[in-house]
Structure 1
Amino acid sequence: MTGALALTGLAVPMAHADDKPNAWNAPRSGATTFAAGAPTISNVVTNGGKAIVVGTTAKKVVKVTYTVSDPDGVGYADVALWRGSNWDSPTAFLITDALEASCGTGTKVTCTSTFTIDPKLDLWNDQAGTWKVASYVADNNGAGVERTNVGSAVIQRASKVTVNAAPEPVTKNKTITITGSLTRGSWDTGKYVGYGSQSVKLQYLKKGTSAYTTVKTIKADSKGNLKTTVKATADGYYRYVFAGTSTTAGQTAVADYIDVR
């Protein structure tokens, strides 16, 4: 995992490990006690409140912002992302780049932590979905508190949708075939693979108008292929729209223009 290897000496990415890295198994930055109830953490927002969509190659930079309060002043803050039912042995774990948040000074501060997620190192397909946010915060006297679930984050596999309307040009009121494909990124293989049996909307925009209308909803076959037919009534654009699932982000195909004569 980004930043974790140098700290722990482990030879595997942290999101692929079963246990928390050493950086989160011990008090951080000089904090010596775990004082329940203080400091407090609130207003935790991950990636601006949007799902984190990760493809197969590009690294994804994610920011988590939160508010920390303590009457003795805030001395340290950090967060982590994790999955699983047991905090002591999570099924996946991601730590921040700097292992310490960027915070203001005072008794109530806004903090920002940054994660860099590398799909080639940090993620498996079965880790798509909802993650929890854990926090560790300490005051200026070294009293710290660790909380295992102060927020959530959704990490999704990226998807792609294509469309092609044929034949073209076409005689008015003749049948045209709209084909395409629905694929999603595989973090296991580093490639895009067919996303089968998913519902996809076929939408149409008549030339000279500004709003798409849904013509019909179809399902991809087992390999993610899309195919349906419609009657060509006027020049316009066709596109497939995939709404997304809990594990996979939605996507809209680049529309294909059909010339009706």
Structure 2
Amino acid sequence: MRTRTAAAAVLGTSVLLPLLAPAAAHADTAKGDTVFTSVNFNKKTFNVGVSTAQTVTVAATAKDGSGMQGILGAKLVSSDDKIIHAYAADCTRPTSTTMKCVFKFTLDPDRSDYYGLRNSSAGIWRFTAEAVAKDSDFYDLETSAKIQVKRLARLATTQAGPEPVAKGAKLTVTGALTRADWNTNAYAAHAGRSVALQFKRSGTSTYTTVKTVTSDAGGKLRTSVTASTSGTWRWKSTSTSTTSGATAYGDTVTVR
């Protein structure tokens, strides 16, 4: 259970101060009939690049038969125990027994201080807060409200050639896969990833995976295929627990 202080109950803009001790994850705990009836995020997955900050909005509603005193200590905790406090909070009392608070947090990769994202922070983040009732019942939310924060991946525009190509001839397809490096605030090669090469016949709307290719040390992709019919080639990577998926712009090749 968190220590309840007068400062923790203040709603509005927060002063951002890092905590010296890591935020160890414990299971949710409760006393009495206090419950969180809902915890809703504006998104469940945040794919963050290297320069643009993103806002996480959390709407949390708590209920207790005696009425609510407050929702305290709201913060986001990263997979590597980075703690980000809400920079704004707006609380209302929809009924005599409920309280709803909307908290806003910033995920910013372009900061050099404690609050800037680092590669180790990618993964599952937890929203933690404590709902405290007027009769001193409480619900301590620790592990059940989660989002994913991922490093944004990018695929360069697909290049296929020669164009046009003779039917039955070899077609070379190239590309490049990078992802956000939050430590350096730049996009860096994403090596060793299996990326799908997909093809869509002219006049159709569905892509089919032809083969998978592993990105080299520089994130480069290169392979050869046999040209059989006109259509569009593109690269597509899937997401992981720490990195977003990406889809490249396609290159249309005419087969003669």
What TM-score results when the alignment is normalised by the length of structure 2? Answer: 0.81
From 144, 153, 160, the counterpart of 2:154: 160
From 174, 179, 195, the counterpart of 1:179: 174
Q: Which residue of 1 aligns with 2:57?
A: 63
Distance 1:254 1:18 in 2: 45
Q: Which residue of 2 aligns with 1:30?
A: none
The structural deviation recorded for 1:232 is: 1.4
Matched to 2:34, the amino acid is P
Report if aligned partners of 1:18, 1:91 keep a CA contact under 8 Å in 2: no
Matched to 2:175, the amino acid is G
Distance 2:91 2:145 in 1: 18
The structural deviation recorded for 1:35 is: 8.2
Determine if the alignment matches structure 1 residue 130 to structure 2 residue 124.
yes
1:31-50 equivalences under 5 Å are 36-48=31-43, 50=44
Matched to 1:7, the amino acid is V
Moved more, 235-244 or 59-68: 59-68
Report if aligned partners of 1:59, 1:118 keep a CA contact under 8 Å in 2: yes
| Cα-to-partner distance string for 1:151-179 (whole Å, 9 max, x where unaligned) | 11111000001221111121222111110
Q: Which residue of 2 aligns with 1:250?
A: 245
Report if aligned partners of 1:73, 1:105 keep a CA contact under 8 Å in 2: no
Report if aligned partners of 1:178, 1:229 keep a CA contact under 8 Å in 2: yes
Report if aligned partners of 2:49, 2:180 keep a CA contact under 8 Å in 1: yes
| Cα-to-partner distance string for 1:108-150 (whole Å, 9 max, x where unaligned) | 3544322121111221101100122211223356765543223
Q: Which residue of 1 aligns with 2:46?
A: 52
Q: Which residue of 1 aligns with 2:229?
A: 234
From 15, 28, 40, the counterpart of 1:7: 15
1:215-226 equivalences under 5 Å are 215-226=210-221
RMSD: 2.7
Q: Which residue of 2 aligns with 1:112?
A: 102
Report if aligned partners of 2:36, 2:139 keep a CA contact under 8 Å in 1: no
Determine if the alignment matches structure 1 residue 91 to structure 2 residue 81.
yes
Moved more, 169-178 or 179-188: 169-178
Q: Which residue of 2 aligns with 1:26?
A: none
Distance 2:50 2:20 in 1: 22
The structural deviation recorded for 1:243 is: 0.4
Matched to 2:240, the amino acid is T
Determine if the alignment matches structure 1 residue 260 to structure 2 residue 249.
no
Q: Which residue of 2 aligns with 1:204?
A: 199
3-state SS, counterpart of residue 7 of structure 1: coil
1:70-89 equivalences under 5 Å are 70-78=64-72, 79-83=74-78
- Describe the shift of the 1:102–1:175 C-alpha distance in structure 2 as closer, same or farther (beyond 3 A): farther
Gaps of 5+ in 2: 1-12, 24-28
The structural deviation recorded for 1:66 is: 3.0
- Describe the shift of the 1:206–1:104 C-alpha distance in structure 2 as closer, same or farther (beyond 3 A): farther
Matched to 2:213, the amino acid is I
Distance 1:7 1:38 in 2: 32
Moved more, 223-232 or 138-147: 138-147
3-state SS, counterpart of residue 142 of structure 2: strand
Distance 2:92 2:223 in 1: 54
The structural deviation recorded for 1:230 is: 0.7
Distance 2:249 2:32 in 1: 52
Determine if the alignment matches structure 1 residue 148 to structure 2 residue 142.
yes
